[in-house]
Amino acid sequence: EVQLVESGGGLVQPGESLRLSCAASGFTFSDYWMSWVRQAPGKGLEWVANIKKDASEKYYVDSVKGRFTISRDNAKNSLYLQMNSLRAEDTAVYYCARILSGRGWYRFDPWGQGTLVTVSS
């Protein structure tokens, strides 16, 4: 069974850092792009970052560029999101998702259960 399990969320103060992890199982992790998507309380989904299979390409939403870093360890089947200089507006549930793709199509599939990050003083 394909499974993604996020961890590392919690309550932090503005300006602090946090590192999220996503443990993958049930598929060959190194064969897929991976993604982080977040959802602020009561709001919609927001794409945060993507990373290529071999980590040679990384892309970010403008609001996190320079503060967040996506990375992966294919030997450990794990995806990470290092979040620095956290702001109140980063408060959200953070989901990791695998990116499936083929000729002319992409989809985020599946998703983990999410981990809550709260930034508050």
Partner 1 sequence: QTVVTQEPSFSVSPGGTVTLTCGLSSGSVSTSNYPSWYQQTPGQAPRTLIDTTNTRSSGVPDRFSGSILGNKAALTITGAQADDESDYYCVLYVGSGIWVFGGGTKLTVL
Q: Which residues bind partner 1 (CB under 8 A)?
A: 35, 37, 44-47, 50, 57, 59, 61, 95, 100, 102, 104-114
Structure tokens at 27: 């598929």
* Minimum distance, C-beta of residue 121 to partner 1, in the bound complex (Å): 27
> Cβ neighbours of residue 79 under 8 Å, at least 6 residues apart?
21, 22, 24, 34, 36, 51, 70, 71, 72, 96
* Minimum distance, C-beta of residue 58 to partner 1, in the bound complex (Å): 8
Quick one: 87 or 107, whose CB is closer to partner 1? 107
Intra-chain end-to-end CA distance of the chain, in Å? 40
* Minimum distance, C-beta of residue 109 to partner 1, in the bound complex (Å): 4
Quick one: 17 or 40, whose CB is closer to partner 1? 40
* Minimum distance, C-beta of residue 2 to partner 1, in the bound complex (Å): 9
